[in-house]
Structure 1
């Protein structure tokens, strides 16, 4: 049965495309198909609200414009109401004036909302600082505990495993219980375990506390974006998410810088781990001061009843836009993880092969790479958000198309950087910058896609599910996979020097002075304080610099194929996103109507 033939007491919503494009509603409204039932399509088109919603819709579906409050909209539209929404004509969020319920511009954002967003951004900042602090002092950690690169890499592995395993648990809790309290407990746990871990003298205990840090951080990462989604909608939500995701590049860079500098000043790497816990305790008290918005607040609904976890998972798996965008985002995480882990080492090996760069210092390479990564994130995240806000009004499928564009453009740029690194330093850094800039277009947009194709009561679960998949198949495995591929290639090149592309002179040097090169490589590996170089496979010390470079070069080419695959996933997402966005809006309307009926029955009883 079509939506048009449903009973009059339950008005259908316009499609998601129409909600974002009033011209579509005007076009469809002028078709005359419903003129006999609704009193003329031309009259209905004339009575559209500023957002393109027909005037027969209650204020539950209306958002205030920049110039009119919702109360003024309701008063202006009341004469045209031919039908009534199940929630009633005067329904709005209790205790919040309708005109202030959903800010439409920055000037209309209230103090409470600004405070909430500021606190969430601050916590996200120290979240990423904490993740990268240990990497900034990894050389000292290896020396203190007398461990190899394999055990040092295990520090990242146990963190990611505990993080992604616990994410679904906190997602379930976040959809049902107080989110500020859950986040406060999680931030308190990660701050405490980070501080206690800095006093551990045995590596086994130290790595156990790093695993607990992952549990604490999972509680925050799954819940914070859903609070933003319940405070804002549409363009304002995109802007706030972009602000929230600024913390990823900034926090990552600060973690490395603050960690290494603190360890240097204190002459003890353990003090580097005692900075973020202090900030974390401050964050706990700030989190407890924020108000937990009602789930579905920004969409005009309240007191929605959560469904079972089985129903949540079943609905998410059937949501094609969510699943495909998650697959695309997993490809983004795969590439980002591989670049962060192997990028500085690869660039160092390549630039060292350039004439006159034999004495290049890896700390300088790592610093340059870090600055480029931070700038690419600072520009790429808001650029993606801006493009989304500008284009989605005209093209409802713009969000996944922008994500696909970013990945498909990034792939050849990063491939070019891999090919150019041993001949042109400036060109290499330029290609890496623009490649990462294109890659960073995805962050805020993917988060926004999740929030508008999933109903409010399932968003924390959806966040957790996305975190689990993107880490398990993305940045948790990509550093190891790229390392394993490079190891296999290096073994082949070592046994078959003619396949490496080296000149006869270099091959002769490799055969005659292999032992000396191996010892020199070992000295470099032990002496460097670089984030990435110290985490390379211990087996790499067997090979010459050229073999290591070519092994990593061919292995990193795999990231370009993954980027193309991610672009394809996002293109398919564009085929379903309008329907899934409409289904989420319809599901919210249905849930709200059912909740209203339950409330009415409770009052009668």
Structure 2
């Protein structure tokens, strides 16, 4: 998507693109629960996915055409960007604090969403059991799928609302504050943490309050998706964006949603062993373990606040590099760089100071 739109149009296009993540996740909960009910076996809920994946790959192969990277950002007189080695790209990305910190913040988002994706429906069911609203789900029984349906609907709605809200707020604030993007991401994560904590704390008293707080928390959490992608696109030069995106995806999955469900389950099992066996113990163990998500979200918000400290300088350096006015091998503080049509591409500061 990056080469096809001007930077001012890109944010809205990314928001439309990133609607697919929460909406697809929510529809997955809904479709999976219905397929499981119809087939009488939860394995069939997983057998729907491969067919959809094959269809998506065919559409990408047959329909999507890839334009030149960075074409809309370069001026007509700017020199073409030369690709560098993969190792050089990694070293340059490691020296880009905005990219590193925003990737860590996005990893926190993935950690929280991955934990909720696996454990939220089970937690809501255990909450209903403790409240006496539904019978326990014993091995061999056909368990209720109403919580998966409701959580799926909440995920769809909050995803659309949060992604759109985050992009629009950020777009409006950019007119007054060039650091608006990371600040909106930080506000989303720091704001979602207390609501997720309240949703867990209120689960033993009111399931309705739990759903309300989950709705607010997931809405604030979803504000980050498109903005993080936009940050990457303007702090990383076009020839490195594929590497940067790949690194960010691997990092967010490896330290985020790939391991967070296991970690939450491990903590829950350890807590449950120290209490007498009961449905209340199972509920409390999962409740306390999920509270880790609120603290991880706060850490992610701190990472985005750190991003705000460096974002202006990193964006300026990327713009100068794209325009051919800055070379990475040379420090930008002690030299003045002029366009190549001038007599010299590098003029020492000492030669022009009076």
TM-score range, shorter chain: 0.7 to 0.9
Counterpart in 2 of 1:424?
Answer: 206
Deviation at 1:393, TM superposition (A): 1.5
Mapped partners of 1:558, 1:271: distance in 2: 32
Mapped partners of 1:298, 1:583: distance in 2: 18
Q: Of 292, 310, 326, which residue of structure 1 is paired with 2:87?
A: 310
Counterpart in 2 of 1:279?
Answer: 55
Mapped partners of 1:329, 1:492: distance in 2: 34
Counterparts of 1:73-92 in structure 2 under 5 Å? none
Counterparts of 1:148-167 in structure 2 under 5 Å? none
Mapped partners of 1:397, 1:432: distance in 2: 28
Describe the superposition over 1:184-210 as per-residue Cα deviations: whole angstroms up to 9, x where unpaired: xxxxxxxxxxxxxxxxxxxxxxxxxxx
Counterpart in 1 of 2:283?
Answer: 549
- Match status 1:291 vs 2:73: no
Counterparts of 1:590-601 in structure 2 under 5 Å? 590=324
Counterparts of 1:407-418 in structure 2 under 5 Å? 407-418=189-200
Deviation at 1:417, TM superposition (A): 0.5
Q: TM-score, normalising length from structure 1?
A: 0.50
- Match status 1:561 vs 2:278: no
- Match status 1:451 vs 2:185: no
Counterpart in 1 of 2:28?
Answer: 255
Tell me: CA distance 1:401–1:271, structure 2 relative to 1, closer, same or farther (3 Å). Answer: closer
Counterpart in 1 of 2:171?
Answer: 389
Counterparts of 1:235-250 in structure 2 under 5 Å? 235-250=8-23
Gap runs ≥5 in structure 1:
1-227, 495-542, 598-605
RMSD over aligned CA atoms reads 2.5
Q: TM-score, normalising length from structure 2?
A: 0.84
Count of aligned residue pairs for this structure pair: 319
Mapped partners of 2:37, 2:58: distance in 1: 25
Deviation at 1:480, TM superposition (A): 0.8
Tell me: CA distance 1:493–1:255, structure 2 relative to 1, closer, same or farther (3 Å). Answer: same
Counterpart in 2 of 1:83?
Answer: none
Q: Of 88, 93, 96, which residue of structure 2 is paired with 1:319?
A: 96
Mapped partners of 1:309, 1:271: distance in 2: 37
Tell me: CA distance 1:255–1:557, structure 2 relative to 1, closer, same or farther (3 Å). Answer: closer
Counterpart in 2 of 1:374?
Answer: 156
Deviation at 1:356, TM superposition (A): 4.4
Mapped partners of 1:320, 1:341: distance in 2: 32
**SS, match of residue 175 in structure 2:** coil
Counterparts of 1:87-486 in structure 2 under 5 Å? 228-259=1-32, 261=34, 269=44, 272-273=48-49, 275-277=51-53, 279-280=55-56, 282-284=58-60, 287-300=61-74, 303-358=80-135, 362-486=144-268
Tell me: CA distance 1:428–1:579, structure 2 relative to 1, closer, same or farther (3 Å). Answer: same
Mapped partners of 1:271, 1:564: distance in 2: 36
Tell me: CA distance 1:263–1:343, structure 2 relative to 1, closer, same or farther (3 Å). Answer: closer
Mapped partners of 2:153, 2:173: distance in 1: 30
Tell me: CA distance 1:265–1:351, structure 2 relative to 1, closer, same or farther (3 Å). Answer: closer
Describe the superposition over 1:425-481 as per-residue Cα deviations: whole angstroms up to 9, x where unpaired: 111100000000000000000000000000000000000110111111111111111
Mapped partners of 1:586, 1:276: distance in 2: 42
Tell me: CA distance 1:487–1:241, structure 2 relative to 1, closer, same or farther (3 Å). Answer: same
Mapped partners of 1:578, 1:274: distance in 2: 43
Deviation at 1:273, TM superposition (A): 4.6
Mapped partners of 1:574, 1:562: distance in 2: 19
Describe the superposition over 1:468-511 as per-residue Cα deviations: whole angstroms up to 9, x where unpaired: 111111111111111111111111123xxxxxxxxxxxxxxxxx
Deviation at 1:267, TM superposition (A): 7.5
Tell me: CA distance 1:334–1:375, structure 2 relative to 1, closer, same or farther (3 Å). Answer: same
Tell me: CA distance 1:343–1:405, structure 2 relative to 1, closer, same or farther (3 Å). Answer: same
Higher relative contact order (CA 8 A, sep 6+): 2
Tell me: CA distance 1:316–1:265, structure 2 relative to 1, closer, same or farther (3 Å). Answer: same
Counterpart in 2 of 1:26?
Answer: none
Tell me: CA distance 1:470–1:273, structure 2 relative to 1, closer, same or farther (3 Å). Answer: closer
Tell me: CA distance 1:359–1:571, structure 2 relative to 1, closer, same or farther (3 Å). Answer: same
Contact 1:295/1:303 (8 A) holds in 2: no
Contact 1:262/1:271 (8 A) holds in 2: no
**SS, match of residue 362 in structure 1:** coil
Mapped partners of 1:309, 1:569: distance in 2: 26
Counterparts of 1:484-523 in structure 2 under 5 Å? 484-494=266-276
